[in-house]
Structure 1
Amino acid sequence: MSSINKIMLLVTLSIAALTFSFTANASEGGGSSYPNGAESIMAGAIPPPGFYFINYTNYYTADKMIDNDGDEQHVNLDLKVKANVFRFIYITDKQFLGGFIGFHTLIPLMDMDLDIMGMDDDDSGLGDITIGTNLSWHTKNWNFAAGLDITAPTGQYDKDELVNVGRNYYSIEPVLGFTYLSDGGYEASVKAMYDFNTENNDTDYQTGQEFHFDYHTGYHIGNWVAGISGYYYKQVTDDEQNGHTVDNYKGQVLAIGPALKYQYKNMSFIAKYQKETMVRNRTEGEKYWVKFIYAF
């Protein structure tokens, strides 16, 4: 396969349906259906029983495509993805195995613009909706969570387009998380996930299994929290197309950057910046986040 064909295969597999993952990698649909980096401060701490609303606003931009060897491919790339995602959470007062039972859904609105190698495309609209359930446990200094999320192909998809707001396949994602908050205000949090993806019936392509986690370490003082957050993503198994393995296209990335939170009564405001590094088979870029949380 020529180098140009390899680049175009990587691009078409990676940007075919970015949805809420906000980034591109070798797996069809832009990698994990989960928005890598969305959680940070208190990432493993599900709130107590009640109803909550979260609004995520994200902007991702990239001008580099990195291959399997970690080398930049000179493809004149300009990718911009904007998203606003509504998340509704309900935590019941019912318990199972000692943990509170909860439910949530995420509804993404996307706007995508891609210019690469003289080609350009854009798409906007409703992305793929996620529904999930979880259990949460709390002690004086520790918070634990376990859950299962399912992302459905509700977004628009056309296999002949370069970018799509939908992925056209399901993702099933077990979730584990923890947060440790010391008496002195020091925090360490991790939210870890593993994805199983169904086949895209329009392209006969099945994305491999994916492991990824969000993380945060920081310090709480009064109504403020400051620290370092980011995410790690690694595709674990190969993709398949028409029943054949697609070799050397597994994605990887580590992202890191500052995070700041302010708590005001029953509301929270979080701002984050995340820079990607250690990239393989993905675009390399930057993410900017604003997150609003409201407790009813």
Structure 2
Amino acid sequence: MLWWATLWSAVFQLEYGLLVCMIAAMNSIIPLIFRLALVSLLSLLLPVVALAVNFAAGAKAPAGHQFKLYPYFYSADTKTDKDGNPAIRELGLKKYGVQIFNSYQTGDLNLSAIIPISRVEVAKFDAVDSGIGDIQLRLGYYLPVEWATFLPVLMVKIPFGNYDKNALVNVSDGQSDLVAELYFFKLVQPLSFDAVIKYAKRFRNHDNDFTPGNEFSAEGLLTWRLAEKIRFGPAINFVVGGENRREGKSVADSGLMRLAAGGELYYARIDRMIISLAAYQDLLTRNSNSGILVMSRFAIDF
């Protein structure tokens, strides 16, 4: 019961956060001296919300345009150290928003772009930022394999959102990423299996001379058909990152690790629309926040 209470509470806060994100909220004004003292610390606190793999994420889409919305809510009260022990408690970190996903499928070629709109808050330090984040441009091509679906994707993250090196928090990372991804999908009724592996080469932020460590991630989702076009199943998400660099020098013991588990409920009984709801709980973290992620997906085919 506690898990479901947490889930529905988070969904309510997600809906509220999306409204706030759309109609309100630019940065709170914090005294300049306080900002400068905490900038370096908070640059390491913000979560990179990696929206988890969904059912049929790697399946071949129908030819034409597809529009998706990914509303999400992430909350964490603890940041762990290199040994996984709590380093900061009562953090009050919340990040919520929506990722706007547009894709076009022609033959085996898939072109897509993601525009994120979000708001991030760190209550412990009274820090807030909101707005458009960094845009992702993606190029994918389905491999000629018959027994399953394989989709390699090359993604470029472009630092589009505003970044202020003196601000305590930013919705933009202020740096670029180059990411290689491989999606896998297999359906053997009543079971399905989705997986994705990613490797991100992360580049230097020229404003603060900070380079996040490169990251490797792996995600998996197993679903069972409950009824026609309704599925449910468990999922797992694992991320490991190399050491960060500041002013060209490696920051000792700064590499992150995060293991999260959860599940997804999938519903596709509405014509030309897919809806899903997923929740993940961080189970094991190193140099990372420990919290809960709630996300949904609304996909429409044109």
TM-score by length of 1: 0.84
**Which of 44, 54, 59 does residue 14 from structure 1 map onto?**
44
Kindly provide the amino acid, as one letter, of the partner of residue 140 in structure 2: N
Is residue 2:148 matched to residue 1:142? Answer: yes
Is residue 2:138 matched to residue 1:124? Answer: no
Higher strand share: 1
The aligned counterpart of 1:56 is 70
Is residue 2:196 matched to residue 1:191? Answer: yes
- CA deviations 1:172-191 (Å, max 9, x no partner) are 00111101111x32111111
Q: 1:191 to 1:14 in 2, by over 3 A?
A: same
Is residue 2:172 matched to residue 1:166? Answer: yes
The aligned counterpart of 1:90 is 104
Identify unmatched segments of 5+ residues in structure 1: 1-7, 24-29, 94-99
Q: CA deviation at 1:141?
A: 4.8
Indicate the structure whose relative CO is greater, using CA pairs within 8 Å and at least 6 residues apart: 1
In 2, distance between residues paired with 1:234 and 1:87?
25
Kindly provide the amino acid, as one letter, of the partner of residue 190 in structure 1: A
Kindly provide the amino acid, as one letter, of the partner of residue 208 in structure 2: T
Is residue 2:54 matched to residue 1:40? Answer: yes
**Which of 107, 113, 121 does residue 113 from structure 1 map onto?**
121
Is residue 2:265 matched to residue 1:260? Answer: yes
- Contact between 2:39 and 2:165, CA under 8 Å: does it hold in 1? no
Q: CA deviation at 1:124?
A: 0.6
SS in 1 for 2:235: strand
Q: CA deviation at 1:238?
A: 1.8
- CA deviations 1:44-89 (Å, max 9, x no partner) are 2241322101100000001011111111124431001111111000
Higher helix share: 2
Q: CA deviation at 1:9?
A: 8.5
In 1, distance between residues paired with 2:93 and 2:300?
32
Is residue 2:187 matched to residue 1:181? Answer: yes
In 1, distance between residues paired with 2:217 and 2:99?
20
- Contact between 1:218 and 1:225, CA under 8 Å: does it hold in 2? yes
SS in 2 for 1:157: coil
Q: CA deviation at 1:105?
A: 0.2
Is residue 2:84 matched to residue 1:70? Answer: yes
Question: How many residues are treated as equivalent by the alignment?
Answer: 263
Q: CA deviation at 1:218?
A: 1.1
Identical amino acids, percent of aligned pairs: 24
Kindly provide the amino acid, as one letter, of the partner of residue 100 in structure 2: F
In 2, distance between residues paired with 1:130 and 1:123?
20
- Contact between 1:43 and 1:215, CA under 8 Å: does it hold in 2? no
SS in 1 for 2:277: strand
RMSD: 1.7
Kindly provide the amino acid, as one letter, of the partner of residue 38 in structure 1: A
